[in-house]
Amino acid sequence: MDLTLSPNEQAFADELRGWLADNHPGEEPAGDEAAWQFRLDWQRRLHERGYAGLSWPEEYGGRGATLIEQAIFGEEMARARAPMAANVLGLVMGGPVVIAHGSEEQKRRYLEPILSGEEIWCQGFSEPESGSDLASLKTRAVKDGDEWVVTGQKVWTTFAHHAKWCMLVARTDPDAPKHQGLTYFLMDMDQEAVQVRPLRQITGEAEFNELFIEEARIPDANVVGGVGNGWAVAITTLMHERAGLGAASAASVRIALGQLVELARERGVADDPTVRQRIAALLIESEALRLNAWRGLTQIMKTGVPGPEGSLPKLQWSAVNQGLTELAVAIQGEDGLARDSDWTYRFLRARANSIEGGTTEILKNIIAERVLGLPRLR
């Protein structure tokens, strides 16, 4: 892949950089609710300027931008340390899945409110006994006239407490082989039958939730990709999740590494050979991550969909981010134990990086089997 930007891409990057310099909303406020409102407001501004859903087709409210422009966008946002948009699951996964598998009616109904942040999305995949082995999930959906009746439990459902729509995978045919009996639904969260209970994380935030679903109703029109085809649609979702996590992450770890070097200087350890070696190793890894993220992008440009290669940057990002936050906390010594330090927060949040969006072990299996073509163990 040619990594030099074309004149058009350079112009796009310059325009975006200028806009970010004038419109950066500043630091995110503390507190779950204040931070949420801040992210919602930021998403509205991105949308007004045409920066939400950049590579989505123009007819559905996107900008029809190329994937290179989408990658430039991710890098510039990370470079400017711009906040996250509120509807991150809708933008990164929900919209692309509806574009790939949804009917024309579904595209017209769901895409625009994702971009504006009017309707927030969450992802109801994991269950208490089904995480990595997603196809073993037990949530059941039974047909009743032109509706489905859904009963089960989901867990780790990020932003379910804000969400209007849930990308829900449920078992519709208990007699079919486990990957074939699944269907992908868009479930309306605004119903009594869906109870959301927050889970508090090690950082003190409550980003995710348990979902208790007791005979929730989903119209047949909200099936995405056809009954019994839920596994294929779920895989598209996960590929987009991993590609999304990988793409902007190279720029953000680069910035974090710069801050780590500053910290090492401030604390007088920049000449310590062990610290220098660890920083150099992280820098090399982050460069490999950047190149792998571009490699994943090349693959998407060739095939139109993210493939298993997207697992590699996600895996590398979690390792580099955990490594650099660990080193920062170690350099801070006992100050690193203070809970209100920014580095301590980042260190604690990074613990989840090797679990969310597929664990490191699972990603290694995918890379071994589906990218390198090594024999399957199971």
**Which residues contact ligand FAD by CB under 6 A?**
122-126, 131-132, 156-158, 208, 352, 355-356, 358-359, 361-362, 365
Cα–Cα distances (Å) from 137 to 65, 126, 140, 169, in that order, read 37, 8, 9, 8
Concerning whether 241 is annotated as a catalytic residue, the answer is yes
Q: Rounded to whole angstroms, how far apart are CA atoms 64 and 59?
A: 9
Q: How far is the CB of 306 from ligand FAD (least distance, A)?
A: 17
CB of residue 143 vs ligand FAD: minimum separation in angstroms?
A: 24
Closest chain position to ligand FAD (CB): 131
84 or 362, CB closer to ligand FAD? 362
* Closest residue by Cα to residue 18 from 40, 41, 43, 51: 51
Instruction: List the structure tokens of 346.
Output: 């980042």
For residues 221 and 243, is the Cβ–Cβ distance under 8 A? no
CA distance 37 to 268: 39
Q: Shortest approach of ligand FAD to residue 311 CB, angstroms?
A: 13
Burial annotation 191-202 (CB, 10 A radius, 16+ → b, else e): eeebebeeeeee
Angle at 240 between CA 297 and CA 161, to 5 degrees: 145
Cβ proximity to ligand FAD, 158 vs 259, nearer residue: 158
Give CA–CA dist 161/327, Å, rounded: 34
Rounded to a whole number of angstroms, the minimum distance from the CB of residue 244 to ligand FAD is: 13
The residue among 242 and 290 lying less far from ligand FAD, judged by its C-beta, is 242
Which distant-in-sequence residues (6+ apart) come within 8 Å of 52 by Cβ?
43, 46, 85, 91, 115, 116, 117
Shortest distance, CB of residue 19 to ligand FAD, whole angstroms? Answer: 30
Do β-strands 147-155 and 208-219 pair in parallel, antiparallel, or remain unpaired? antiparallel
Nearer to ligand FAD, 313 or 358 (CB): 358
- Say which of 75, 76, 241, 309 is annotated catalytic: 241
| Minimum distance of ligand FAD from residue 164's CB (angstroms) | 15
Q: Which is nearer to ligand FAD, 232 or 355 (CB)?
A: 355
Residue 377 CB, nearest approach to ligand FAD (Å): 8
CB proximity list for 23: less than 8 A, separation 6 or greater: 45, 49
Interatomic CA distance for residues 263 and 284, integer angstroms: 19
Taking the least distance from each CB to ligand FAD, the nearer of 246 and 358 is 358
Pick the closer one to ligand FAD by CB: 157 or 286: 157
List active site positions: 241
